[in-house]
Homo-oligomer: A and B are copies of this chain.
Amino acid sequence: MTEPRPGRPAVTSRAQLEQVALALFASRGFEATTVEDVAAAAGIGRRTFFRYYASKNDVVWGNFESGLQDMRQLLAASPDDVPLMESLRTAVLAFNRLDAGAEPWHRQRMALILHVPALQAHSTLRYAAWRDVVAEHAARRLGLPPRALRPRLVGYALLGAAVAAYEQWLEEPGHDLEALLDEAVRTVARGLDA
């Protein structure tokens, strides 16, 4: 499990830090919580916090990068005889599938990302990586360079669909995320697979 490595062992983990931070954000609000607060609550130094997360904003994103990797692989493995937009729709739904019981956490996380201005702004940078994954797949399937208008457009349109679905999901507790995503993605997909 924990293979022994040379050097001083890490005193905490990204996941643990994330928990502590999200708890503080929930009780005091994101902006009113300083990095020093988080570090103190986690029992580490302010400087050390920045060794776990490059910025205060990044805490909220947890392990986004690994989710992206999964989606990349899923798309790469998608057979060429399933229509492009269908493979993408499947991938978007899979990417946003929640582990059982993870919904309340995910709700809180997404509420922060979509409603706190600083995080809303920062999200763009993460979204860019997500769009690239989508655009790259679309480019491959369309036989176009990834920087061509069409693949890019697919990336932007699907991202927009996903975010619109999330906004809707956050507002009405009754709604089902997957259904909203499916509806939104299908709608924009209609224009894209010509």
Complex contact B147–A187 (CB within 8 A) = no
A180 interface hit (Cβ, 8 Å): yes
Which residues does chain B contribute within 8 Å of A149, judged by CB atoms? Answer: 164-165, 168, 180, 183-184
How far apart are A83's CB and chain B's nearest CB, in angstroms? 14
A161 interface hit (Cβ, 8 Å): yes
The interface size bin for chain A is 35 or more
Which residues does chain B contribute within 8 Å of A120, judged by CB atoms? Answer: 124-125, 128
Which residues does chain B contribute within 8 Å of A150, judged by CB atoms? Answer: 187
A67 interface hit (Cβ, 8 Å): no
Binds B, one of A10-18, A100-108, A151-159: A151-159
Partner among B128, B156, B187 whose Cβ is within 8 Å of the Cβ of A160: B156
* Alpha-carbon separation in the docked complex, A165 to B155 (Å): 12
Q: Mark A162-183, 1 if CB is under 8 A from B, else 0.
A: 0111011001000000001001
Residue of B nearest to A193 (CB): B191
* Alpha-carbon separation in the docked complex, A161 to B191 (Å): 12
Complex contact B184–A153 (CB within 8 A) = yes
Chain A residues with a Cβ under 8 A of chain B: 117, 120-125, 128, 147-150, 152-153, 155-157, 159-161, 163-165, 167-168, 171, 180, 183-184, 187-192, 194
27 contacts between A and B (CB under 8 A): A117-B125, A120-B124, A120-B128, A121-B121, A121-B122, A121-B124, A123-B124, A124-B124, A148-B168, A149-B164, A149-B165, A149-B168, A149-B180, A149-B183, A150-B187, A152-B164, A152-B167, A153-B160, A153-B161, A153-B187, A155-B164, A156-B164, A157-B160, A160-B160, A187-B191, A187-B194, A189-B191
